[in-house]
Amino acid sequence: MINDKKVLYSGMQATGTLTLGNYLGALKNWVSISDEYECFYGVMDLHSLTIRQEPANFRKNARNLYALYVAAGLDPEKNCLYYQSHVSAHAELGWILDCFTYMGELNRMTQFKDKAAKHADNINAGLYTYPVLMAADILLYQADLVPVGVDQKQHLEICRDIAERFNNLYGEVFTIPEAYIPEAGAKIMSLQEPERKMSKSDENENATVRLLDDTDTVIRKFKRAVTDSGNEVRFSEDKPGVSNLMTIYGCVTGKTMEEIEKEFDGKGYGDFKLAVGECVADELRPLQERYYALLEDKTYIEKCIKENDEKAQYFANKTLRKVQKKVGLTERIR
C-alpha cells in the first residue's frame, strides 16, 4: 500500500510505435483504472534490448512511448511514468532473482520460444531471463495488480512463483501480484494473419494499426483487412478475421457482439470494415493531437521524467535494500 492505495504496476517495451493491440489490450484499461490505484508505468527499455535495437531509433521510440502514455490519458503528475533503465534497482534485483529461478521454469516460457524462432540469429541470455527481470520490475514496487494482455499471463505466473519461493525462504518480503487481463481486447489479432497477434514489431505495415496512423491510413488498413469467406458479420471461431474486427469495434464503441451482428445484418463486409475504420480513427484523433502538442513541450516532459524517475528510485530502492539484507549481502557503511 502507498498513500492507502493498492499498487498497480505495468509497462511496455520501446520496440516500435504502439499498435491498436497495445492500446485496447493494455493502455486503454490502464487509463480507466488508474485513479483507484497508486500506479507505476515503466518504459521497459532494458527489456527492449533483448532484440537488437538501432540506438538512435531506439531512443526515439522510448521517448515516443513516454509521450503516448501521457497522450492516452495517464497524468504524469498522478501516475509514476518512468524509464526502467533509470532505476538501477531493476537490474540488481533481476540478478538476485535469477538465482532463485530454475532453468526448467524458464524453458517452459512460450514467449521465449516464439521470439527465439523469430530471431534465430540472436538467441541471447537476456531473452531467456526476460521473465525474471519482469518479475523484478513488479516485485520492486510491491504491486498488487498488473494489467496486461493475455500474452503476458505466463510471465505473471512465474513472477508469483518466484515471489512465493522467496517469501517461503525469507519471510513476507514481496507482495504477491495478481494479473488483470481484460475480458475483451486481451488479444487483438493481425489484420493480415488473424491467427497471429497484432504485434508492434511486425514488419508488414498492413497487419497493424499504429496509434499514430492518420485517418486515411487507418481506413485503408481496415479496408484491406483479411476477412473470411461468406459475407455475414458474425462472431465465431471459423471467422477469425471478422471476429477480430468485431472485437475491435466492440472495444471502441462499447457494443456487444450481438448488437454488432444486428447492426450489420444484411450489410456486406465493405460497410462493416469502413465503420470499424472510422470509429478507430475517431478514437485515435484526440490522442494524436495531445501527442503532437506534448512533443513540442520538451521542458514539461523532461520535468515529468526527472521527478518520476526519482519517485520510482525511492520505492524500488526500499525493496531492494530489504532483499539484500534478507539474503545476507553485507550492508553499506554509512
Interface residue list for ligand LTN (CB under 6 A)? 9-13, 44, 47, 134, 137-138, 146, 148, 152, 155
Residue count of the chain, please give it: 334
Closest CB 172 distance from ligand ATP, rounded Å: 27
Of 7, 80, 89, 188, which one interacts with ligand ATP (CB under 6 A)? 188
Read off the C-alpha cell for 166: 522467496
Nearer to ligand LTN, 131 or 194 (CB): 131
CA distance 287 to 284: 5
Q: Report, in Å, the least distance between residue 7 CB and ligand LTN.
A: 12
Concerning whether 197 is annotated as a catalytic residue, the answer is yes
Interacting partner of 194 out of ligand ATP, ligand LTN, none (Cβ under 5 to 8 A depending on kind) = none
Q: Considering only CA atoms, which of 3, 176, 45, 196 is closest in space to residue 114?
A: 196
CB 136, CB 93: distance < 8 Å: yes
Question: Of ligand LTN, ligand ATP, none, which one sits near residue 144, judging by CB under 5 to 8 A according to partner kind?
Answer: none
Q: Which is nearer to ligand ATP, 152 or 175 (CB)?
A: 152
Among 124, 154, 201, 217, binds ligand ATP (CB under 6 A): 201
Tell me the number of residues near ligand ATP by CB under 6 A: 21
Q: Determine, following the binding rule CB under 6 A, whether residue 34 of this chain makes contact with ligand ATP.
A: no
Q: Indicate which single residue of 187, 234, 255, 290 sits in contact with ligand ATP (rule: CB under 6 A).
A: 187
Interacting residues of 28 by C-beta distance below 8 A, sequence separation 6+: 72, 185, 251
Sign of CA dihedral 72, 77, 78, 82: positive
Is residue 322 among the annotated active site residues? no
Q: How does DSSP assign 271-309, residue by residue?
A: HHHHHHHHHHHHHHHHHHHHHHHHHH-HHHHHHHHHHHH
Burial of 246 (0-12, 13-18, 19+ CB in 10 A): buried
- The binder of 187, among ligand LTN, ligand ATP, none, by C-beta within 5 to 8 A per type, is ligand ATP
Which listed residue (6, 78, 115, 267) is catalytic? 115
Stretch that binds ligand ATP, among 156-164, 198-206, 234-242, 292-300 (CB under 6 A): 198-206
User: Which of 155, 197, 210, 273 contacts ligand ATP by CB under 6 A?
Assistant: 197
The cell for 29 is 484499461
Helices first, then strands: H and E counts in the chain: 14, 5
Shortest separation between residue 15's beta carbon and ligand LTN, angstroms: 9
The answer to whether residues 200 and 168 touch, using CB atoms and an 8 Å cutoff, is no
Burial 162-178 (b: 16+ CB within 10 A, else e): bbebbeeebeebbbebe
Task: Identify which of 238, 208, 206 has the alpha carbon closest to the alpha carbon of residue 224.
Answer: 206
Q: How far apart are CA 236 and CA 220, in angstroms?
A: 25
Only one of the segments 133-141, 180-188, 262-270, 299-307 lies at the binding site for ligand ATP (rule: CB under 6 A); that segment is: 180-188
Minimum distance, C-beta of residue 159 to ligand LTN, in the bound complex (Å): 8
| Partner from ligand LTN, ligand ATP, none contacting 188, C-beta within 5 to 8 A by type | ligand ATP
**Binding test (CB under 6 A) with ligand ATP, winner from 8, 9, 22, 142:** 22
- Is residue 26 at the binding interface for ligand ATP, with CB under 6 A as the rule? yes
Residue 223 C-beta: closest distance to ligand LTN, Å: 29
Report the alpha-carbon distance of residue 115 to residue 118 in Å, rounded: 5
Cβ proximity of 68 and 291 under 8 Å: yes
Q: Is 6 a catalytic residue?
A: no
Which are the catalytic amino acids?
115, 197, 200
User: Using CB under 6 A as the criterion, which residues of the chain lie in contact with ligand ATP when the complex forms?
Assistant: 12-13, 15, 19, 21-22, 25-26, 148-149, 151-152, 185-188, 197-201
